[in-house]
Amino acid sequence: MCGILGYINFTETNVKSIEDEAFKTALNLIQHRGPDNQNFKRFAKNNLFGHTRLSIIDTDSRSNQPFFSEEGRYILIFNGEIYNFHDLKNELINDGIQFKTSGDTEVLLNLLIKYKSDALHKLDGFFAFGFHDLESGYSLIARDRIGIKPLYYKLTENDICFASELTPISKLQSEKEIDQEALELFFSLTYIPAPFTILKGVNKLFPGECIEIQNGKVEQKRYYEINQKEISKDDFETSKGKLKNLLTNSVMNRLVSDVDLGCFLSGGIDSSIISTLAREHKTDLNTYSIGFENANYFDETHFADAVAKKIGSHHTVFKLKDADFIDDFEQIMHSFDEPFGDSSAIAVNLLSKYTSQEVKVSLSGDGADELFAGYNKYRAEFLIRNLSLSKKIAASTGNALLKPFPASRTSKISNLKRKLGKLNQGIQTPPTERYINWISNGRQAGFDILKRPFTIDIQKALSIPDIKCLNDQLISDQNIVLSGDMLKKVDLMSMAHALEVRTPFLDHKVVEFANSLPEHFKINKNQNKHILIETFKNELPKELWNRPKKGFEVPLQFWINSVWEKIDPKFFDKHYINQQNLFDTNKIQTLQEERASKNLGDRIYVLWNYLVFQYWYATNMSN
C-alpha cells in the first residue's frame, strides 16, 4: 500500500520539463501514504515516476520503488496488493524468469512486460499503477476492478500526470479552475464520483479502467465492468455454501502479510463476519473498535465485545472523548484531497488513527451493504414495490400526522418523520427518479447554496441506467456510490495514518457471485442481507441477527458547535464569498444564523459540506 505520482510526455513535442524539486515537493504531499520509503526517478529525459512506500509484503529495500527491471528497460510504480502473486510468480518462473525479491511488485512488473494490458485480467487484488517501457515508449496506467484504490490523472494531447490523490497533481498545475459540474455533484451527493474531480481538466479513472499509450496514441478503455450477471438457478442452501467458500477464501488471501495485521470490528454484521472468518485462520487475531464516552454518540461497542468474546480475539476498544474530535478537527479537514462531505469519515479517520498505532494492516467489512442490500434505502425500495394500497395510504397518513415535527436525524420522532417523508415521496415517484433522489443527499436537505442553481442532469452525467428492479439499484450503487463515497472515504482516512485496509467482500469473485443472486435471496419482508445473515448466523451472537442498520456517524450538530471557535470566520465573510463567486451570500448567512439558533435540522449536512469545501479551497485554491 503506497502512494504514486507519475509524469509522462508521450509525443516529444511541446515538452514541458518538471523540475526535480517541484516534483519532490508534490510527492511529499502524499508521504503519509507511505512513510517507510520515498523516492523518484527521472527517465527518458523528461519523464518522472515517484513513490512513497508502506511496506507490507517483502519489507526488504530491494522492493522499494520506482522499480526497474534488471536491464533498466521497464519501470513500475504500484500501489496495492496482488493476492495471487505466488501463483503468477510460479507461472513466470516456469517461463524461465528469475526473481530477486519475494514481493508482488516484481511479479506485477514481469507480468506487464509479458502481457501488457492483458495482464490485468490475471490479477486478483486491488491496485493503481503506472508502467513504462523506455525502449518502445509504451505506457499503461490502470485501476483495479472495483475501484478500491484511487487514481487521478490530467491528460493533454502531449502528456499525462497521474497520482494516488488529487493534491500532487494540483500542486504541479500553474492554473486551477473549479469544475462547475463537479461542484454541483458535490453539493448534490456529498462526494464527487468518477470521472469528475473538483478541478477542471483533472479526472478520476473509473474502476476497471486503464489508459494505454503507444506511439503517441492514447487509448482509454474499461477492461472490467460491474454488471448484472445471469441469475443463478442454485437453490438457497447451495448458494449459502458457495458464499461461505468464496468469503473464506477471500479472507484467507487477505491475511497474508509480513507485518502486524488486525480487523476492524464495529459490532455490525459485516465486520463481525470478516473477523469471525479471520479468527478461524489466525489464532492471534487482534480486533479494534471505537467507543464514545459522550452519550451524544451512538456506541456499538457492546455488540463488538460480544463478537470478540465469542470468537476469542484480542479486542481493543478505543474510547473517545469530545476532546479527541476537537483536537483532530483540522487534521481531518486537511485529509481531504478534494471536497468530501460524508460525515462518517470523521469516525473512520479516528478509528484508523488509533488502529495504526497497533498494526499496519486491517481487514474491514466494507462493501457488503451494496452487494447484499443492507441499507435502509433498499428496505424502502422493497416496501414500495411490495406494499399494499392500504399500507401506502397508512404511510401517507403517518407522514401527515408528523407534519408539525421537523424532519432530521436529531431525535427519534424527527427521524421517523424524515424516513416517512422519504418513503411517501418515493411511493409517488418513478423508480429511476426515486433512486436519483435517494442518492442525492445534499439536494434532499432542501437548501441550494450555490450562486448558480443546480443544472446538472445526474442520470446523464453518471450514466445511470433506468432502474427497473432492486438489483439495478444495487449495481448502480456498486458503480457510483461504492467507489465514489465508501471506498474513497476508507482510502483517504486510513492512508492519512499509513494504515492499509483490505476489503474481503470486494474480491471480484464475491462481487460477481452476489450479482448473480435473485433479489429475494438478499432481501425479503423480514430481513435485509438475508443470505449473508443466514449463512453465518450460527457463528454470530444472537443479538446481531436482527438488529437495525446503524450508520458510522457522529452527531454533526453537536460536533460543529464544539469546534465553531476554531473555524476561520472568513468563510462567512461576504467579501470573501463574493470573491469566490460560487455561493449565494444570503443563503450562507442564513445557514450561519440557523446554526446559532440550533434550527438547522438536516441542513446541518449542507453546512458541513460547505465547511469541508471551504477548508479545501483555502488550502488548495487561495493565493
CA–CA gap between residue 198 and residue 180 (Å, rounded): 8
pLDDT digits (tens, 9 = 90+) for 390-423: 555 545 554 444 444 445 555 555 555 456 666 6
Identify the three-state secondary structure at position 9.
Answer: strand
Element of type H or E holding 169: helix 166-172
Provide the 8-state DSSP code for 481: I
Cell output for 189: 451527493
Instruction: Determine how many CB atoms are found less than 10 A away from the CB of residue 19.
Output: 9
CATH fold for the domain made of 2-222:
Glutamine Phosphoribosylpyrophosphate, subunit 1, domain 1 (3.60.20)
- Residue 466 sits at φ, ψ, to 5 deg, of -60, 135
pLDDT at res. 556: 80
pLDDT at res. 55: 80
CA–CA gap between residue 297 and residue 103 (Å, rounded): 42
Q: Which CATH number fits domain 236-372+491-544: 1.10.10.10, 2.30.30.140, 3.90.226.10, 3.40.50.620?
A: 3.40.50.620
Instruction: Determine how many CB atoms are found less than 10 A away from the CB of residue 53.
Output: 23
Cell output for 296: 451524544
Cell output for 276: 469471525
Cell output for 562: 464544539
Identify the three-state secondary structure at position 156.
Answer: coil
Cell output for 571: 468563510
CA–CA gap between residue 139 and residue 44 (Å, rounded): 13
Instruction: Determine how many CB atoms are found less than 10 A away from the CB of residue 388.
Output: 8
Which amino acid is present at 464? Answer: I
With CA atoms as reference, report the closest residue to 536 among 338, 311, 341: 311
CA–CA gap between residue 418 and residue 17 (Å, rounded): 55
pLDDT at res. 532: 97
**N- to C-terminal Cα separation, the chain:** 33
With CA atoms as reference, report the closest residue to 566 among 329, 322, 340: 329
**Alpha-carbon separation of residue 394 from 391, 412, 427, 484, 498 (angstroms):** 5, 19, 12, 36, 51
The region, left, alpha or beta by phi > 0 then psi within -120 to 50, assigned to residue 147 is left
Look at the pTM and tell me if it is higher than 0.85. yes
Rounded to an integer, what is the distance from CA 34 to the centroid of its chain? 18
Buried b (16+ CB within 10 A) or exposed e, 442-462: bbbbebbbbeeebebebeebb
Stretches where the chain sits below pLDDT 50 are: 394, 398-406, 417, 446
CA–CA gap between residue 571 and residue 585 (Å, rounded): 10
Identify the three-state secondary structure at position 435.
Answer: helix
Domain ranges of the chain: 2-222, 236-372+491-544, 376-446, 558-620
CA–CA gap between residue 375 and residue 363 (Å, rounded): 21
CA–CA gap between residue 505 and residue 389 (Å, rounded): 37
